[in-house]
Amino acid sequence: MRGGELMRPSPAELRSLCYSLQRPGSSPQGYDKHRRRLKLDPAIERGTPFFIHIAPCYLFLDADRPDAWEALLPLRLSLLQLGCRWAAWTSGRPGHVHLVAVVPDALERATLVAEAKTIADLNVNRSIRPPGVPHPTRPGLGGDLLYPGTWRQVITDLVPCPVIEPAPLPKAPVPSFAQPLTLPPSTVRLLQDGDVDADYIDESGDRRSNSKVIQALVSSFRHAGADLDTCHTLLL
């Protein structure tokens, strides 16, 4: 793990990174009880603690454990296998790590989130305190770059991109009949009015049997020439 003051982003690098990570239309917010909205440039210049809401294409992992870098190894390997760009830096207490990855594919992101939930003290968040921004209760801690080698490379790697949503499932085709089904009057009456004549009684003899009603309807549909898919659709 690398660290030191020289590994924290410059104000210009921090500004560029915030503009990339920030969700479009959102603003930095302070950590005060009102969560007031802030202007980015003055907040950076004054050293104000703030957080930003990240764009949908990013996956943000907040590892709150002293062995965070080692605990993140399975996810780092998964990101490598998926070809995703990512960066990591220290955060808060010693050993704790923030990792941000560009994962535009929604299904891949959901898979990574599920994997992250199997690791203790690893949180998936949609807001982040950017590196180099003071911690609200532990000033001066965190923000040292772990990966890649320079903040310039981080800014290049974490450029936002459009989200790839999963394709919608195709709708079930509506069955078409070569000719209308001709049903007997008893079946038509059963469909319209129910078992008003109590023709379908269960074994106890004191109440109607829904399974016998459905069986009678299916038998009638099949006798009229409907296939099983059509029977299912008609019953629905």
Residue ranges covered by each domain of the chain: 5-157, 185-235
The values of phi and psi at residue 11, to 5°, are -55, -40
Predicted pLDDT at 190 = 67
Q: Tell me, what's the pLDDT at 124?
A: 96
User: Among 78, 213, 211, 49, which residue's Cα sits nearest to residue 139?
Assistant: 49
State residue 5's pLDDT score.
44
Q: Which residues pair with 197 in a beta bridge?
A: none
- CATH T-level assignment (fold) for domain 5-157: Alpha-Beta Plaits (3.30.70)
Cis peptide before 148 (omega within 30 of 0): yes
In sequence order, what are the beta bridge partners of 97?
63, 90
How many angstroms separate the CA atoms of 28 and 23, rounded?
10
* Confidence at residue 3, expressed as pLDDT on a 0 to 100 scale: 44
Q: How many CA atoms lie within 13 A of 61 on its CB side?
A: 35
| pTM strictly above 0.75 | no
Exposed, middle or buried by CB within 10 Å (0-12, 13-18, 19+), for 108?
middle
Neighbour order of strands in the sheet with 29-30 = 29-30, 50-53, 127-128
Of 213, 220, 214, 215, nearest in space to 198 by CA: 213
Q: What pLDDT sits at residue 120?
A: 93
Would strands 97-102 and 58-63 be described as parallel, antiparallel, or unpaired? antiparallel
- Mean pLDDT per 10-residue interval, the chain, length 236 residues: 62 96 95 89 94 97 94 96 96 89 96 95 95 82 88 96 87 60 71 67 62 72 71 66
